[in-house]
Amino acid sequence: MNLPPQTIKLDQIGPVIAEKFKHKGEITCYVGSNAATPTASIEALTASVKSGAVKLPFIKMVHLLLQGPVPYVASGLQDRVMTFSIFSGGDVRQAANEGRAYYLPCTLANLDSLIGKGRKYEPDVVLFKVCRNEYTGEYSLGLSVEALHTAIDHAQVVIAELDASMPFTQGQSVVDAQSIDCLIQEDVKPVYTFPAPDFDNLSPEEKRIGELITKYFITDGITLQTGIGRIPDAVVGMIKDAAYKDLGVQTELYSDGLMYLQAQGIVTNRKKKANMGYSTTSLIMGSRELYDYVHMRTGVQMRPSAYTNAAETVRQNRPFISVNTALGVDMFGNVWADFIDPRRYYSGVGGQPDFIRALNDRVYGTPIIAMKSLTNKGESKITRMHPPGIGLTASAFDGVVIVTEHGIADLRELTSGEKALAVASIAHPRFRDEFLRYVYEDPIFTKPIGVYLDKSPRGVVMYDGDIKLDD
């Protein structure tokens, strides 16, 4: 007999888990992420851990980026609950840098390899948010699908917050009522919202990057993936001012910028080979306007990350343009995004390596790493060598295109010496001559015959527009 979920209160989460796993010493809990972070449930479970009123097993908390407070990473709780974070920010980032949380490196396409049946982090419990269709009674994962279907399928205790502030999204976001064991309807905190992009107040550097990418890589009918942040916003801002048409979207994260292009009719998805007619994504995060736009909209559909980030899906939708950013790039063409240096963990790799490797042949499209040439402290993001000991989202053998406000370095099919010259050429002028001379004089970088410091090397397009920089 199919039974509806049992309605419980937040303070019953701990007792439900304790009773179910009273004979186990350790369990794994997978937590829904990003804008749909179930903060109320996280806080309630942490309160049970702290109080000791019920005997809970040791809990491994596995998740992507969590918004809001994450109290179980507080100092002193690690003998009872421990974080295994695949992508981090805020409280979790600080805890990981202080040895109170684990960073669990994994790309979004490979989440199932961590939490699937029989895998190391197969969940016993899953916490997440849902909304309900008032006409059909169906539940939707709304803003966050990522790997939740896999977690729900294998967990023994499935606990969902019913959140009326979350949109009902289409596609593979629907969850049948029989898959939910416990439903929380009271004292649930709303989904997280973020300001929409301000296209009119982008910095000159951001505008230049957007102009370069739009001018040299965007064409009618391409399929687009962008990350979140001011650099991808700059690309969207330039696209919206051009006359492109019939763009498609297949991305891991659908944001306000992509919504804007779709609402304006620039994104139609009619040229896509896979999922023709609608944008596909595994996560949605942004403004309230964005959430209202995707509510019940068949033109935006959810899919698991294992699908949106799969090389096969990306390649079906060629020509494909992927735009992401990074913390740094070195002269060999290595790119990094999860560590600033071996002692400073920052976030995670997300899906950046998925799209880079899916586009390892230019016949499929172009993987772009777009970043300002300087950090906020005025240090060069381009370095001679990457910090030793950190992971890389792209290695020298991955053919990526680097774009800064000073130009484009297309590293595909270049030798190591040519890569070094190309990367150095788009560094900030404060460092450019030093880098070029370093490459030119070091014999480890074998240079083509006839290379001169005063000429642009192969693969380089320098910015030649009219946007002036502040410095």
Distance between first and last Cα of the chain: 70
Chain centroid, CA 405 distance in Å: 23
Task: Read off the amino acid at residue 361.
Answer: D
In this structure, what DSSP letter does residue 228 have? S
Cα–Cα distance list, 286 to 60, 217, 296, 377 (Å): 29, 26, 17, 27
DSSP helix/strand/coil, 51: helix
Active site residue 98: no
Residue 190, CA distances (Å) to 8, 41, 46, 146, 185 in order: 18, 12, 19, 19, 12
* Given 146, 206, 252, 405, the catalytic residue: 252
Look at residue 460 and give its three-state secondary structure: strand
Tokens standing for 468? 């002036």
Token pair recorded at residue 220: 């009618």
In angstroms, the CA 168 to CA 74 distance is 34
DSSP per-residue string spanning 78-108: TTTEEEEESS--HHHHHHHHTTSSEE----G
- CA 323 to mean position of chain CA atoms: 11
Nearest CA among 169, 177, 266 for reference residue 218: 266
Radius of gyration for the alpha carbons in the chain, expressed in angstroms and rounded? 23
State the SS3 of 270-332: CCCCCCCCCEEECEECCCHHHHHHHCCCCCEEECCHHHHCCHHHHHHCCCEEEEECCCEEECC
In Å, what is the CA distance from 297 to each residue of 163, 272, 446?
18, 18, 54
Q: Are strands 157-162 and 125-132 parallel, antiparallel or unpaired?
A: parallel
Instruction: Tokens 């948010």: give the residue.
Output: 129
Beta bridge partners of 157: 125
Question: CB-side exposure of 91: number of CA atoms within 13 Å?
Answer: 12
User: Which residue numbers are catalytic?
Assistant: 252
